[in-house]
Structure 1
Amino acid sequence: MSTVTIAVFGATGNQGGAVVDALLDHEARVRALVRDPQSDRAQALAARGVELAVVRADDPASLAAALTAVEGFYFMTPEANSLEEIEVEIRIGTALVDAAADASVPHVVFNSVFGADRETGVPHHDSKHWVEEYLRKSGLRATMVRPTAFMENFTSVMAPSLEHGEIVLRLPLPEDVALKMISIRDIGRVAAALLLGTAEAPGGAVELVGDELTGPRIAAAFGARAGLPARYEALPLSVLPNEFDQAMFRQFAEAAEHPSDLAVVRSIEPATLDLAEWIRATSWTAPTNAAGS
């Protein structure tokens, strides 16, 4: 096992869990900062050899102690869906940066969000911009990883349906707009490479994009996998449940105006999945319970 120890805040979540997976694949030592060491997810990490450090976001001493003698620190802030939760997110992000500075952590990787290099008007993205700025001013060596939309959303909130023998994908996105996307697995792999020093992000930040496709091309990729015809329907933003989500999809559309350099991500993680590869890797199959299918 490597003598390098990397601390991970958010290890029991999907993105942080992917970072842990990638670090363990490289035989790094992992210290997970957790609130409840007895939770099922924390215990599952411990069973894989992950060290558990119990912390409280409102206890600076516990955070600094957990970051003592580590070579790198990955953290992300809680997802916020209200102004009150945004305040909590910023408070936690600030506390983690302060703790990393107190512990003199050599390298910090912050899991932010695409577009967080500037204020966007999307409240739960601008909160990460604020944390990024605070981290930059801390004097720590820091790298920002900025994921785009998750490919995994196509198994849940953005899942295509099967209707009358046809794959149908509906999103609140114009059909000529290319959606930038990344797999959660690759978020973990890129972050691990940066933390372990096997790669660097140009300018200290990288937008995580594994593919960018328009709605019709996304639908066609799922149709090809299912061996069925496919179509795309663009929906109005009004179908989204709240202003946060509407602002986010507006940003998806605006981001499409600036094509991504996919080669940058692949220079860090050469095996980064495009959408067709992700569909195959996850063994996606067409749904079978849609009416009229």
Structure 2
Amino acid sequence: MSAQTNGTIAVFGATGRQGGAVVDALLDREARVRALVRDPRSDRAQALAARGVELAAVRADDPASLAAALTAVAGFSFMTPEANSLEEVEAEIRIGTALVDAAVEAGVPHTVFNSVFGADRETGVPHHDSKHWIEERLRGSGLRATMVRASAFMENFATVMAPTLEQGRIVLRLPLPEDVALKMISIRDIGRIAAALLLGTAEAPGGAVELVGDELTGPRIAAAFGARAGLPARYEALPLSVLPSDLDRAMFRQFAEATENPSDIAVVRAIEPATLDLAGWIRATGWTAPTT
């Protein structure tokens, strides 16, 4: 294991969910953080500044601003914008490429890229393959780089994948066959694992780690929420056609195929021993059954 890193850690995407979790974890460890932001005057950027985070104004289409913001940092964490269309996928690749090139120019000692599960290969999912291509750019850059590849977010069970309460029963519906185990991780733990790698308190074997905190089939996920609510639970598998876009359908197809690839949760917990399983996430978030 490497010696603990001192110095400023730069974070691109600090005002978003994953980047915000990285900032939280770094500040919890009393690290110095520099957030690379488009608008330092925005409410989210100012909220970071109020917590002691240094702000650096950057533009993804301005290489000089990126390289300047990365000057003399001890580490760099970045994630690319979430893509919801093929045009946004192309923009994601451009931004990722610009960030890698800026890290090279600035001579960043260690870069951690928040990627996606399975990005070690092309999958046919456009907004996952974009991260594969960025990983390839990192590998060819000469930088010391670590890939943290997130699986499905547990937080989605509080929003787009939230269970419902119907006739006294918890009901979970997903476009996933009932015999397929969904790999998942909490966003909190993505941040904690990235921070540990950036600060040198842990290392990822082979320079990459697949982030899985739990792996459960739909019926077992429903049962976990039912147990918390003290109610019976039911799972219903939906067809992919319920999803609104081709990208979403491709992603859930990949979720189903990902069950063929083994998860090594022990590696994840070696980096962050307190990594949450789904039941732990349900407890930690204080989830309660919906009222209707």
Q: Report the TM range for the smaller structure's normalisation.
A: over 0.9
Aligned to 2:192: 189
Q: What is the percent sequence identity of the aligned residues?
A: 87
Aligned to 2:74: 71
TM-score between the two structures when normalised by the length of structure 2: 0.98
Instruction: Please give the residue correspondences for 1:92-107 in structure 2 after superposition, counting only pairs within 5 Å.
Output: 92-107=95-110
The match for 1:210 among 208, 213, 216 is 213
Partner SS state of residue 116, structure 2: coil
The match for 1:224 among 223, 227, 231 is 227
In 2, distance between residues paired with 1:232 and 1:85? 33
In 2, distance between residues paired with 1:261 and 1:96? 29
CA contact (8 A) 2:6 2:199 kept: no
Aligned to 1:57: 60
The match for 1:200 among 200, 203, 211 is 203
One-letter amino acid of the counterpart of residue 102, structure 1: E
Deviation at 1:259, TM superposition (A): 2.6
Partner SS state of residue 128, structure 2: helix
The match for 2:151 among 148, 152, 156 is 148
Partner SS state of residue 33, structure 1: strand
2:259 is equivalent to residue 240 of structure 1: no
CA contact (8 A) 2:156 2:162 kept: yes
2:24 is equivalent to residue 21 of structure 1: yes
Aligned to 2:118: 115
The match for 2:280 among 277, 281, 289 is 277
TM-score between the two structures when normalised by the length of structure 1: 0.97
One-letter amino acid of the counterpart of residue 54, structure 2: E
Which whole-Å deviations, capped at 9, do the CAs of 1:60-104 have from their partners, x for residues lacking one?
111000000100000011111111111111110000000000000
In 2, distance between residues paired with 1:177 and 1:99? 41
In 1, distance between residues paired with 2:239 and 2:62? 44
The match for 1:35 among 35, 38, 41 is 38
In 2, distance between residues paired with 1:249 and 1:284? 24
One-letter amino acid of the counterpart of residue 231, structure 2: L
Deviation at 1:3, TM superposition (A): 4.6
Aligned to 1:172: 175
Query: Runs (4+) of structure 1 moved beyond 2 Å?
Result: none
One-letter amino acid of the counterpart of residue 140, structure 1: L
One-letter amino acid of the counterpart of residue 129, structure 1: H
In 1, distance between residues paired with 2:27 and 2:7? 11
Partner SS state of residue 40, structure 2: coil
One-letter amino acid of the counterpart of residue 259, structure 1: P
CA RMSD of the aligned region, Å?
A: 0.8
Deviation at 1:211, TM superposition (A): 0.2
| Structure 1 runs not aligned, ≥5 long | none
| Structure 2 runs not aligned, ≥5 long | none
